[in-house]
Structures are given as structure tokens and as C-alpha cells.
Chain A
Amino acid sequence: MNEKNEPILRAENISISFGGLKALDNVSLTINPGEIFAIIGPNGAGKTTMLNVLNGFYKQDEGSIFFEGKKRPKNLKPNVIAAQGIARTFQNLALFTGMSALGNIMVGRTMKMHSNIFSQALYWGFSRKEEIEHRKAVERIIDFLQIENIRRTPASMLPYGLRKRVELARALAAEPKLLLLDEPMAGMNLEEKEDIARFVLDANEELGYTIALIEHDMGVVMDICDRIVVLDFGKKIAEGTPDEIKANPEVVKAYLGTAES
């Protein structure tokens, strides 16, 4: 871990609007290395927008992002940001449906592999050795997420819960410095949720990944996260440890509404 405890990612005063709608309004957040960080908030609060800004799908109108202490150029492409070490999963699943589970995870490894098409043609042996090494790494991830028995199954044939798990595996395969998870437990039953929560915890504790996630299930968030930011209508209304968030009247108001209104 980082000695100086410098944040791995810092977003400062991020604002973005779509047409007249201000999706994010002056939101700042800091993600420290080694922590599980959560962004929560009611529907339409701007959580996924924030994630999309962090991984470069959206460009903020105002504000800046610092990754590993360095200010990130605003127009950096998402694939470059991915190559720098930010991996993500999607709320509505974005697996490569034409490939097997294993194929998906191997693609997630793309950024770790260095031989290109020409070296593949010229240095057959080197490419092969590299491929085998990456296969081993991928197998470790498959073991870790307990999806050994579905590695050859086409992604399109997998049930929802397992697709989510393959997507997580694909993100882990990149060995990212920061892992962004967009509602990793959405639409799951209790047992599946507990599985994913355990994988997230293990990825954090055993493998040392820094994780930022969006989740609706308050119980899970309060259980596994170190720090939480609460968004409501694009504004940050609270930040703190789970206990602080639970006790915050603003948060309660955002979630339950007030008696007067």
C-alpha cells in the first residue's frame, strides 16, 4: 500500500449536465488506497454518472480528477484510462455475449498482454509463453470467483447471477489499481448477494484491491464498506463511515422524505 496514504483517486468539484439537467453538481470525493468505498443515493442521484466520469465515458463540464496524485487530462479516452488501471463493471451487464466466460476474462486481460499481431507472427514461442502465463493468472481469478465449471459456457447462455460474476472476473483480470463496480448485487437473491459481498471483501482484503462501488442494498453497504458518499439530485449530501452515515439526518431525509413535504 501507499506509504504517504495519498488518495488513489481524487475528484474535485465535478459538475456535468445533460441538456438542462444537472446530473452532478460540484461533487468532490476521495478514494484512498486499500479501501472499499461506496457511492449511494436514491434513483437518479447521479451515481452511475459519477462512475462514468471516473472511467472516462463522460467528460465533466467542470472540475478535475487526480489519479495517483496526477491531474488527469480532461479528454483522456476511456480505453487509456482503463490501461492506466481503472476497471469497471456495468449496471446492466456488458459481457461479450459472443464469447465464452473464459474468452471474456481473457479480453479483460488485454491490457496486461504485450505481444502484438506482428510479434505473434514472428516470435511464436514468446507469444505462446505469454499466453500461457496469462491463462494461469486468469485461472486463478476463475478459482477465486468459483466459476470453474462454466469457463467454456458462452456468456449468452449464463444465468444472470453468474454473468455478474464473470463481469467481475473480467474486471479483476486487468489487475486494476481501482475497481469500479456499478451495482454488483442488483437483481440478485439474498444468497447471491452474500456470495458477491464475500468476493468483494476477499478481493479487497486478500488481493488488496481498492474498490469503489454503487449499491442499493443498505445492509450490504453498511456491512462491507469503509467509507460512503451519499448523492441526492446530483449533490453530495453526506460523506463518512457507515456509522456516521446512518446517523446523518440529511441522508435519512433523502431516503425517506420528510414529514412536512
Chain B
Amino acid sequence: MAFFFEVLITGLMVGIMYSLVALGFALIFKASDVFNMAQGAMSLFAALALYGFLEQYLHLPLWLALLCTVAAMIIWAYAIVFIVLKPLVNRPPLMLFMATFGVAYLMEGIGQSIYGTQAKGLNLGIPDEMYEVAGIFISSFDLFFAGVAALLVLALVWFFQKTRNGRALRAVSDDHEAALSVGIPLLKAWTLTWIIAGVVATVAGVAWGTRLGVQFSLSFIALKSLPVLIIGGIDSIPGVILAGLIVGACETLGEVFIGPYVGGGIQTFLPYLLALLVLYFKPYGLFGKEIVERV
């Protein structure tokens, strides 16, 4: 039984990472109806930038390097909104979607040319020790990032529920025209959303990067968060967080307990299978808003 819980906890930790990336997707989708294909690339870029500030180019202290990384993501947010999205306002969502594809490649390209293509180890000096709690081994590293992710989510909840700007962003995501009519500047709201998505991407990228090394496959986590979005419902932030945990837990448990019977490797497709099942029974996701078109 202890083994089961250890696997479950490992799965949940992986799930937190999925949740974080999917959270970035959901934030931008809610605010601007854009499905942001660059979310994975943003995580990658953040991890690369941190590595650059910390070890490759400048040897800044950790806190300063983190601050600079966030600043870099803020510059990206402005660039994306004002150079890419602004000229495309009021165009069909498919065009915006394709534009974010472009942004994703651009980010990867720029990342490669600045930081090189080889995988890098990112060491933030977070202790990786195993603790035994009631017969179950938990890594302090995992605990640390679980804590950071939880703090981030709490901060986001506070921001969206309690602050004026958070309310304004929710208003924009509900109804663009009405938001304009009460005086909310759309471009500023979008920029703020992309900045938040950038911060979320930074946390996700740094967490993945320290665990698996900073490499270009990082931008493919974006693909893993698609089933997370489908299961959680793309417009539900709590749904996405929970779905990330579900996917992480299921794929890890599946791999360990079912995998051996079918030859292993089911981790890669299990989330998609799960998403298909959810689509079949709950087409708007477990927590998504059902869209009822009135005739």
C-alpha cells in the first residue's frame, strides 16, 4: 500500500506541472479567446532565460536572476500583445491561434540562438532529500514545488477575486464590449493577462527545468496539457488545476500498475485516452461552462 501512495504522490507532483502549464492556457483563453500555442515555448524560454542569467552569461544571485527572468517574460507579453495580437483584433480565432504558433517558433528560435541547443542542468540549490512520512517516502524537492505551485494558485485566486484589476480581467473575459463600455482598456487587460501567463510559465518552466534539465522538449509539455484542458474544461481555472492532478496521477499509476501487463509505455497516451472518455461523456469538460446557443 505504501508503494501505491508513493506512486500516487509522484503522479500528483507531475500533475502539478501539467496544471501549471494548462493554467497558463486557461488564463489567456478566458481573457482573449486565444488558444495560446506558445504557452509551452514560454515555459521553455523562461527556464532558458533563468539559466542564462544564473549560469551561462551573468552570474547573478538567484533572486535577481528570477526577477530578470520575470522581466524578460513581461517584455515578451508586451511584444506579443502589441506586435502580434493588436493588428489581429476582431479577426477569427483561428488566425490568432496560428499567430501564437508563430510566436512559439519565434520564441524557440530566439531561445536557441541566445542560449544554444544543448540541454542544461538548472540547479537552484533546492535540497533533494527523501523524508519518510508514515512509511511513505516523499522528496523535499517535490514538496517545495508543490508548495510554490499552491502559493501561486492562491495568489491568482486572490488577485482575480479581490482586486480591481483582477475583476477587470474577469470582466474582459466575460464580455469584451461590455468591458470596454465601463472603461476597461482591452489591450492593457490583455497585456496583464499575458504577463500573468508569463509568470505562471516561469514557475512551470523552472520547476520542469530543475527536475528534467532545460531542454527543448520542454515546449512539448504544451501537448500534454491539451488533455488536461479537455478534461478540466478550458474556461475553468479550478477545473484545469484538478484535471492536471488527475492526469498526472492516472498516467503514473497506469504506467506502474497496468503498464507491465501491456508492455509499458502507456504513460504517453493514457492522458489522451482519458480526455477522449471525458469528451464522450462531458463534452465541455468536468468543470467547463456549457455553452447553450439560443435560437
Contact = CB atoms under 8 A, between A and B. Distances in A.
Most chain A CB within a 10 A radius of its CB, from B168, B178, B180, B192: B178
Most chain B CB within a 10 A radius of its CB, from A83, A87, A117, A131: A117
A178 interface: no
Interface residues of B, number: 21
B112 interface: no
Contacts of A99: 167, 170-171, 174
Contacts of B192: 117
B178 A110 contact: no
B183 interface: yes
Given A96-B171, A98-B173, A117-B163, A79 B183 contact: yes
B186 A79 contact: yes
A78 B173 CA distance: 17
Most chain B CB within a 10 A radius of its CB, from A82, A83, A131: A82
Interface stretch (A14-22, A100-108, A202-210, A223-231): A100-108
A77 B185 contact: yes
Contacts of B177: 57, 90, 94
A98 B174 contact: yes
B184 to A, nearest CB: 6
B167 A103 contact: yes
B182 A174 contact: yes
B163 A110 contact: no
B268 interface: no
Interface string B152-165: 00000000000111
Interface string A85-127: 0011010001111110001001110110101110010000000
Contact of A94 (B165, B173, B178, B184): B178
Contacts of B184: 79, 107, 110
Interface string B125-147: 00000000000000000000000
Contact of B181 (A82, A98, A113, A131): A82
A79 B185 contact: yes
Contacts of A115: 164
B288 to A, nearest CB: 12
A203 B173 CA distance: 30
A120 B159 CA distance: 10
B258 to A, nearest CB: 39
Contacts of A88: 181
Nearest to A107: B171
A55 interface: yes
B180 A95 contact: no
A170 interface: yes
Contacts of B182: 82, 87, 107-108, 110-111, 170-171, 174
Contacts of B164: 110, 113, 115-116, 120, 131
Contacts of B163: 117, 120
A170 B271 CA distance: 43
Contacts of B168: 107, 110
Contact of B175 (A78, A96, A171): A96
A27 B251 CA distance: 65
A44 B182 CA distance: 26
A94 B174 CA distance: 9
Contacts of A97: 174-175
Contacts of B175: 94-97
Most chain B CB within a 10 A radius of its CB, from A79, A116, A117: A79
Contact of B167 (A77, A87, A107, A111): A107
Contacts of B185: 77, 79-80
A-B complex: 3 closest residue pairs judged by Cβ atoms: A82-B183, A94-B178, A96-B174
21 contacts: A77-B180, A77-B185, A79-B180, A79-B183, A79-B184, A79-B186, A80-B185, A82-B182, A88-B181, A95-B175, A95-B178, A96-B170, A96-B171, A96-B174, A107-B167, A108-B182, A115-B164, A117-B163, A120-B164, A174-B182, A174-B183
Given A107-B182, A174-B182, 11 more contacts: A57-B180, A78-B181, A82-B181, A82-B183, A94-B177, A95-B178, A96-B171, A96-B174, A99-B167, A103-B170, A116-B164
